[in-house]
A = this chain, B = another copy of it.
Amino acid sequence: MNKTIATLPDIHSDSASHSKQSLRLWLRLLTCCNFVEKRVRLLLKTQFETTLPRFDVLAALEKEANGLSMSDLSQKLMVSNGNVTGVVSRLEEEGLLTKEPAPEDQRFNFVRLTAEGVKEFRRMAKAHEKWIDDMFGSISDSEIAKLLKMLDGVKESLQTYQKKR
């Protein structure tokens, strides 16, 4: 190798290192998320005979006392990619939610939880909170607080990225 070139400072080294580090960060985030998600799917199945998409739909609706349009519901889902319409229909059949035309615009269906749906979700949410806490049990309160703050930075970076698109 040409020694003169080899000893010149590499102007690309910083950005190369940043992209490798970014990739490591993404893979680490993904490993953690995959672990928790897989475990939550299993626990929902074994303890409540339900699925993550169903839990996800109930969770999104529980926050909205006035209900959501189908398209808003789809956008608010944290996990599901699947067939929201199918999941909603089955939850409706089971009496956990209602689907009715919106009072202000009859063209759109509004979905909202029934009292039974709220009750069912809260029963699962309580267990879900416990599962997550068991998984993150070895992380101290102050470490969690620090991580939340740093993940705010990640979220901001993603928002900045999105604005540029």
Question: A-side interface residues toward B, CB under 8 Å?
Answer: 14-15, 17-37, 78-79, 129-130, 132-139, 141, 143-148, 150-158, 160-162
Contacts and interface: CB of A to CB of B under 8 A. Distances in A.
B28 A148 contact: yes
A155 B24 CA distance: 14
Contact of A136 (B132, B133, B145, B154): B154
A35 B136 contact: no
Nearest to A150: B147
Contacts of A26: 36, 132, 135-136
Contact of A22 (B14, B19, B133, B157): B133
A31 B134 CA distance: 20
Contacts of A37: 30
B141 A146 contact: no
